Homo-oligomer: A and B are copies of this chain.
């Protein structure tokens, strides 16, 4: 445990998980990651985040890569540094609540395969949704980090978050993380929140801060959090930082120079990590986010950049591309009606889609099933007061009762059923790990099991030629073998362009 006196700030490196998730849609394949592992492991990070829902999903959906094998590879290549994962509480890495036994088995297996730090969060900040996983992680001898999903609303005062921190401490978490996925924690707010939790929970509770860089202010928020007593911050190596990603690790270290605070991270080593990712990152250009600079509009809408473009496309499909501003104005209304849920997956999608429907069809003329479930408690308890009339409307619409219990309490034991469904699948190797893959991704897992023997794909392409170098997916050979004729319109004039192999000896 750190004391405040030696003023060392720990760093969690995000390069292997959230950095490429935020910047290139989690598409980085294992062979572009392993080259950095040795330097990462020796660099002196408090932890290296390397596993989570999107990495797991992308592994089996796009990369034909076993996520458990990826985890074991990381563990082998990085024996010294704690490996960290992001866990969506009772949802695990999937999109529904799982019965407790499944949650327990997942945590145990993740710890067995190499995860040492579990960051556990719930989108609604309903702590009942993370209790089981916190208990299971601690039972497995790993580090359970309780998370506060940061949001801004009239009811989200420092006091409310401090109360949540106290309850997490009572639950027995090993540390607390303030998680700001939308980059909306401003410097003063970061200071006040860290100070508030520190004062309430004492010096011995570890406090971490996760921020994104999107709005351009959060490097300052990290500084203020340091001044207020944070123990550890999340950053990403500079060559995979900024935009919708995170603040650069090297800049964070340099920023502390002369302040009395310092880190244990070895700059020489991480500059080699930087060089590695500068090289491989270019290969994922086609997956790159369009957001590259600072976007302060997020403070108003609280809608992360990725979701904004989703909503725009929803609207365009309905021939209502000009209604975006109306939707952005509607979101605060819908959010208030839900009792001010934080806008993170899945609540951001639920609120955003309902706002689109309200604008297009009239307010609450149509309710999505997910919105009804949210209003009726099936995702858990919301932070504030729900609009009671809307709860009634949701009851009528969904023909379900409102619940107030922990949603997972309604679930029957399901492990044996999941196991009996998974095991007969072609290619399933019979392990609990495979059953968990099936449990979390029942649509994708069968296809993945069936072609797993082909080995991992790499979706990176040569940044100059655009050609895939290894394991090209079918239909992407990248080399022209016969004459192809295109109609190319250049500056309003159409051209017929013929591309064909050409014998160099003829020139």
Which residues from chain A sit less than 8 Å from chain B, CB to CB?
186-189, 192, 215-217, 219-220, 223, 238-239, 241-242, 247-248, 250-251, 253-255, 257-259, 271, 292-297, 299, 462, 465, 467, 478-480, 487-488, 490-491, 493-502, 504, 507
Is the Cβ of B490 less than 8 Å from the Cβ of A465?
Answer: yes
Expressed in whole angstroms, the Cα–Cα distance for A186 and B260 within the complex equals: 13
What residues of chain B lie closer than 8 Å to A479, measured between beta carbons?
490-491, 493
Chain B residues near A253 (CB, 8 Å)? 296
B491 touches A501 (CB 8 A): no
- Complex contact B501–A498 (CB within 8 A): no
Q: How many copies of the polypeptide does the oligomer hold?
A: 2
Interchain CB contact (< 8 A) of A248 among B239, B293, B480, B497: B293
The reply to whether A216 and B251 form a contact with Cβ atoms under 8 Å apart is yes
Chain B residue contacts of A255, Cβ below 8 A: 186-187, 216-217, 220
Give the chain B neighbours of A504 by CB distance below 8 A: 494
**Set of chain B residues within 8 Å of A498, measured between Cβ atoms:** 497-498
The reply to whether A238 and B258 form a contact with Cβ atoms under 8 Å apart is no
Smallest Cβ-Cβ distance to A278: which chain B residue: B293
Closest B residue by C-beta to A261: B188
A254 to B188, CA, bound (A): 11
Contact status B491-A502, CB under 8 Å = no
Min CB gap A490→B, angstroms? 6
5 more CB-based (< 8 A) A-B contacts, given A254-B296, A271-B297 = A216-B241, A238-B294, A242-B293, A250-B296, A495-B499
27 contacts between A and B (CB under 8 A): A186-B255, A187-B255, A187-B259, A188-B257, A188-B258, A189-B258, A216-B255, A217-B254, A220-B220, A238-B295, A239-B293, A242-B242, A242-B293, A250-B296, A251-B296, A292-B292, A465-B490, A479-B493, A487-B502, A493-B502, A494-B502, A494-B504, A495-B502, A497-B498, A497-B499, A497-B500, A498-B498
Q: Which B residue's beta carbon lies closest to that of A217?
A: B255
| Distance in Å: Cβ of A325 to nearest Cβ of chain B | 12
Question: A387–B387 Cα gap in the complex (Å)?
Answer: 78
User: Chain B residues near A296 (CB, 8 Å)?
Assistant: 238, 248, 250-251, 253-254
CB distance from A252 to the nearest CB of B (A): 8
* CB neighbours of A487 from chain B (8 A): 502, 507
Task: Give complex CA distance A97, B245 in Å.
Answer: 47
